[in-house]
Amino acid sequence: MTTIETHDTIDGYMDEERGGPFGQRLSGDRRYWLAWASASEPTVAGCSPGVMDDYGTLVPVPPPVNPSTEEMTMPKPARTEINWTPTDEDKALIDQILDRAETAGHLKKRNRINSELDITACHLNGTPLRLAEWLHADDFNFLHDLYGIDSHMNRTTGRLVGCFAPRFAG
């Protein structure tokens, strides 16, 4: 014979003096009782774990599914090839932008190659830049794009992230 057993695991959750074999819930209490089925003869059919809702109805809870190893491994993202070949004109403008930043003390020599790669990747992989306008911009807007590209470049995809939009985007 299969029976449903319930259990209050939290002291003070039920008020045993207000009637019923399991008592009644305290007013305003919306938690669940733990409930399970037990049988004198162990069988799988018709015996599932569950919880009792606020109205005393047993709600079955399906057992967890054990995923296979294949389902548990994260898929590898598709490899994205980054375009690294600017035109000669773009390369010259990027060099002039970096010269200006380095001369003004906003770029250290050791970071120049990183900034060059970031600007090139940005320009050729999703956010074309108006390089000539950027080169001749006022300091505030010039630095906005220089530091913004550095801070928001995804170096795996060559694209900007974090909703950053350069002022001199094409």
pLDDT tens-digit series, residues 44-98: 555 556 666 666 666 776 666 666 655 667 677 677 789 999 999 999 999 999 9
pTM over 0.75: no
What is the C-alpha separation between 78 and 164, in angstroms, rounded?
24
In angstroms and rounded to an integer, the radius of gyration of the C-alpha atoms of the chain is: 32
Count of beta carbons in the 10 Å neighbourhood of residue 75: 5
How far is residue 41's CA from residue 123's CA, in Å, rounded to a whole number?
72
Element (H, E) at 99: helix 88-103
Tokens 């001369």: give the residue: 103
